[in-house]
Amino acid sequence: MSEIHGCICGPSLYEFEGWFFELSGYGGPWPLKKDGSPRLHAGRTWWKVWDKFDALTDAEQQECHVGGGCQQF
């Protein structure tokens, strides 16, 4: 019997400057509450933080990665 292998993907999760947020290829960045549920609004403060994060190098962004993304099984 052969093994089944696969991959399941979800948004990548990051923490940066006190903000917890997701970044997905289909929905873009969005701030999350500490319990992981999406915030209702993303105000000016959030978008300023996002601009700082987006200006980081890929390596610097990866240092802020806390979970999510694609997982193989």
pLDDT (tens digit, 9 = 90+) per residue, 9-33? 889 999 999 999 999 888 889 999 9
Within a domain: residue 51? yes
Quick one: pLDDT at residue 55?
Answer: 98
Name the band, by pLDDT with cuts 50, 70 and 90, for residue 73: confident
Alpha helices in 1-73 (DSSP H): 44-54, 58-63
Domain that holds residue 29: 12-66
In a domain, 3, yes or no: no
- Cα separation, 36 vs 33, in Å, equals 5
Q: How many domains is the chain partitioned into structurally?
A: 1
From the number of C-beta atoms within 10 Å of its C-beta (0-12, 13-18, 19+), residue 44 rates as exposed
Q: What is the pLDDT of residue 58?
A: 96
Extended beta strands in the chain, E state: 7-16, 19-24, 28-32, 65-72
Structure-token match 């990548």, residue found: 12
**pLDDT class of 59 with cuts at 50, 70, 90:** very high
Give the pLDDT score at 26: 82
pTM for this prediction: 0.85
